[in-house]
Amino acid sequence: MKVPLPAWQRRLFGALPIAGAALGLTAIAMQFANQPFSGLNTAFLLAFAGFYLFGIATGVALLEGQDNALRPNFWFWVVQIPMLQTSMFGYAAASGAWLQVYLQWAPLKLGANYYLGSFFNYSLFQPERPGLIGLNLLALAIAVLLRRADRRQQRSETIDLPASAP
Protein backbone atom coordinates (compact mmCIF):
# COMPACT_ATOMS: atom_id res chain seq x y z
CA MET A 1 0.00 0.00 0.00
CA LYS A 2 1.28 3.44 -0.92
CA VAL A 3 2.03 5.90 1.91
CA PRO A 4 -1.02 8.24 1.98
CA LEU A 5 0.92 11.52 2.03
CA PRO A 6 1.48 14.05 -0.74
CA ALA A 7 4.93 13.58 -2.24
CA TRP A 8 6.24 16.90 -0.87
CA GLN A 9 5.23 15.94 2.70
CA ARG A 10 6.75 12.48 2.39
CA ARG A 11 10.00 14.00 1.12
CA LEU A 12 10.10 16.77 3.74
CA PHE A 13 9.14 14.53 6.69
CA GLY A 14 11.70 11.98 5.49
CA ALA A 15 14.55 14.41 4.81
CA LEU A 16 14.27 16.48 8.02
CA PRO A 17 15.03 13.55 10.34
CA ILE A 18 17.94 12.38 8.19
CA ALA A 19 19.59 15.80 7.93
CA GLY A 20 18.85 16.63 11.56
CA ALA A 21 20.17 13.27 12.75
CA ALA A 22 23.40 13.75 10.81
CA LEU A 23 23.91 17.07 12.60
CA GLY A 24 22.94 15.57 15.96
CA LEU A 25 25.32 12.64 15.59
CA THR A 26 28.09 15.06 14.64
CA ALA A 27 27.44 17.07 17.81
CA ILE A 28 27.50 13.90 19.89
CA ALA A 29 30.77 12.79 18.30
CA MET A 30 32.27 16.20 19.10
CA GLN A 31 31.15 15.92 22.72
CA PHE A 32 32.71 12.47 23.01
CA ALA A 33 35.94 13.85 21.52
CA ASN A 34 36.09 16.87 23.84
CA GLN A 35 34.85 15.51 27.17
CA PRO A 36 36.02 12.69 29.37
CA PHE A 37 33.71 9.71 29.53
CA SER A 38 31.52 9.70 32.61
CA GLY A 39 28.80 7.19 33.32
CA LEU A 40 25.67 9.34 33.29
CA ASN A 41 26.86 11.75 30.59
CA THR A 42 27.84 8.84 28.35
CA ALA A 43 24.45 7.18 28.93
CA PHE A 44 22.59 10.35 27.91
CA LEU A 45 24.78 10.84 24.83
CA LEU A 46 24.25 7.22 23.76
CA ALA A 47 20.49 7.59 24.27
CA PHE A 48 20.41 10.67 22.05
CA ALA A 49 22.61 8.88 19.49
CA GLY A 50 20.03 6.08 19.45
CA PHE A 51 17.28 8.66 18.96
CA TYR A 52 19.11 10.13 15.96
CA LEU A 53 19.86 6.69 14.45
CA PHE A 54 16.17 5.86 14.80
CA GLY A 55 15.42 9.15 13.00
CA ILE A 56 17.66 8.18 10.09
CA ALA A 57 15.94 4.80 9.79
CA THR A 58 12.44 6.30 9.91
CA GLY A 59 13.38 9.06 7.46
CA VAL A 60 14.79 6.58 4.93
CA ALA A 61 11.71 4.36 5.29
CA LEU A 62 9.42 7.32 4.60
CA LEU A 63 11.47 8.53 1.62
CA GLU A 64 11.29 5.03 0.16
CA GLY A 65 7.53 4.95 0.74
CA GLN A 66 7.64 1.77 2.82
CA ASP A 67 4.26 0.57 4.05
CA ASN A 68 5.31 0.55 7.71
CA ALA A 69 7.02 3.98 7.69
CA LEU A 70 4.29 6.16 9.19
CA ARG A 71 4.03 4.90 12.77
CA PRO A 72 7.79 4.97 13.57
CA ASN A 73 7.99 8.46 12.04
CA PHE A 74 5.06 9.52 14.20
CA TRP A 75 6.86 8.37 17.36
CA PHE A 76 10.11 10.01 16.25
CA TRP A 77 8.31 13.38 16.06
CA VAL A 78 6.31 12.84 19.27
CA VAL A 79 9.57 12.56 21.23
CA GLN A 80 10.43 16.07 20.00
CA ILE A 81 7.19 17.75 21.15
CA PRO A 82 7.86 18.33 24.86
CA MET A 83 10.44 20.59 26.40
CA LEU A 84 10.82 20.63 30.17
CA GLN A 85 13.30 22.31 32.43
CA THR A 86 13.29 22.33 36.22
CA SER A 87 16.00 22.53 38.83
CA MET A 88 15.91 18.72 39.03
CA PHE A 89 15.61 17.67 35.38
CA GLY A 90 15.67 19.15 31.89
CA TYR A 91 14.94 17.66 28.45
CA ALA A 92 14.59 18.88 24.90
CA ALA A 93 15.39 17.33 21.53
CA ALA A 94 14.97 18.38 17.93
CA SER A 95 16.04 16.87 14.65
CA GLY A 96 15.77 19.04 11.58
CA ALA A 97 13.75 21.96 12.90
CA TRP A 98 12.15 23.43 16.00
CA LEU A 99 9.34 25.93 16.47
CA GLN A 100 8.75 26.27 20.18
CA VAL A 101 6.43 28.13 22.49
CA TYR A 102 7.25 28.05 26.17
CA LEU A 103 6.24 29.33 29.57
CA GLN A 104 8.95 30.22 32.04
CA TRP A 105 7.72 30.52 35.61
CA ALA A 106 10.58 32.30 37.42
CA PRO A 107 10.44 35.08 36.33
CA LEU A 108 7.10 34.63 34.58
CA LYS A 109 7.61 34.89 30.84
CA LEU A 110 5.89 33.58 27.71
CA GLY A 111 8.18 33.12 24.75
CA ALA A 112 8.80 31.50 21.41
CA ASN A 113 11.83 30.56 19.35
CA TYR A 114 12.75 28.66 16.23
CA TYR A 115 15.73 26.67 15.12
CA LEU A 116 16.75 25.01 11.89
CA GLY A 117 19.16 22.18 12.52
CA SER A 118 19.42 19.75 15.36
CA PHE A 119 20.00 19.87 19.08
CA PHE A 120 19.49 18.01 22.30
CA ASN A 121 19.61 19.19 25.87
CA TYR A 122 19.49 17.40 29.18
CA SER A 123 20.26 18.50 32.69
CA LEU A 124 20.15 17.04 36.17
CA PHE A 125 20.21 18.88 39.49
CA GLN A 126 20.99 22.37 38.21
CA PRO A 127 19.12 24.80 40.49
CA GLU A 128 20.36 27.87 38.58
CA ARG A 129 18.34 26.94 35.50
CA PRO A 130 15.00 28.71 35.14
CA GLY A 131 11.92 26.49 35.25
CA LEU A 132 10.01 26.25 32.01
CA ILE A 133 7.77 24.05 29.96
CA GLY A 134 7.35 24.21 26.20
CA LEU A 135 6.00 22.59 23.07
CA ASN A 136 7.64 22.14 19.69
CA LEU A 137 4.72 23.18 17.51
CA LEU A 138 6.41 21.98 14.31
CA ALA A 139 6.90 18.48 15.72
CA LEU A 140 3.31 18.50 17.00
CA ALA A 141 1.94 19.48 13.56
CA ILE A 142 4.03 16.84 11.77
CA ALA A 143 3.02 14.17 14.31
CA VAL A 144 -0.67 15.02 13.78
CA LEU A 145 -0.31 14.80 9.98
CA LEU A 146 1.56 11.49 10.23
CA ARG A 147 -1.03 10.05 12.63
CA ARG A 148 -3.88 11.03 10.31
CA ALA A 149 -2.07 9.47 7.34
CA ASP A 150 -1.46 6.31 9.37
CA ARG A 151 -5.14 6.05 10.23
CA ARG A 152 -6.09 6.53 6.57
CA GLN A 153 -3.64 3.80 5.64
CA GLN A 154 -5.06 1.44 8.27
CA ARG A 155 -8.64 2.09 7.14
CA SER A 156 -7.79 1.46 3.48
CA GLU A 157 -5.94 -1.76 4.38
CA THR A 158 -9.00 -2.91 6.30
CA ILE A 159 -11.26 -2.10 3.36
CA ASP A 160 -8.88 -3.85 0.91
CA LEU A 161 -8.94 -7.16 2.77
CA PRO A 162 -10.41 -9.92 0.64
CA ALA A 163 -13.67 -11.41 1.85
CA SER A 164 -13.41 -14.99 3.07
CA ALA A 165 -15.39 -17.64 1.25
CA PRO A 166 -18.30 -19.20 3.17
Phi and psi based region of residue 96 (left: phi greater than 0; alpha: psi -120 to 50; beta: remaining)? left
pLDDT band at 163 (very low <50, low <70, confident <90, very high): low
Residue 2 within a domain: no
Structurally, the chain folds into a number of domains equal to: 1
Give the model's confidence band at 158: pLDDT under 50 very low, under 70 low, under 90 confident, else very high: low
* Predicted local distance difference test score (pLDDT) of residue 1: 54
Q: Please compute the mean of the pLDDT values over residues 138-148 and round it to a whole number.
A: 94
pLDDT at 77: 95
72-124 pLDDT tens trace: 999 999 999 999 998 888 888 888 888 999 999 888 999 999 988 888 888 88
pLDDT tens-digit readout, 119-142: 888 888 888 888 899 999 999 999
Residue 138 lies in a domain: yes
The reply to whether 166 falls in a domain is: no
Is 25 part of any domain? Answer: yes
- Asked whether residue 113 is domain-assigned, the answer is yes
Nearest to residue 55, comparing CAs of 6, 29, 93? 93
* Residue 105 falls inside a structural domain: yes
Asked if 110 and 52 count as a contact pair (C-beta separation under 8 A), the reply is no
Pure H helices in the chain: 7-34, 39-63, 70-78, 137-159
**pLDDT for position 166:** 52
Cβ pair 97, 20 in contact under 8 A? yes
In a domain, 137, yes or no: yes
Query: 33 pLDDT band (50/70/90 cuts)?
Result: confident
Q: Which domain holds residue 79?
A: 7-159
> Does some domain include residue 134?
yes
In the predicted model, is pLDDT for residue 160 greater than 80? no
Residue 65 has pLDDT above 60, yes or no: yes
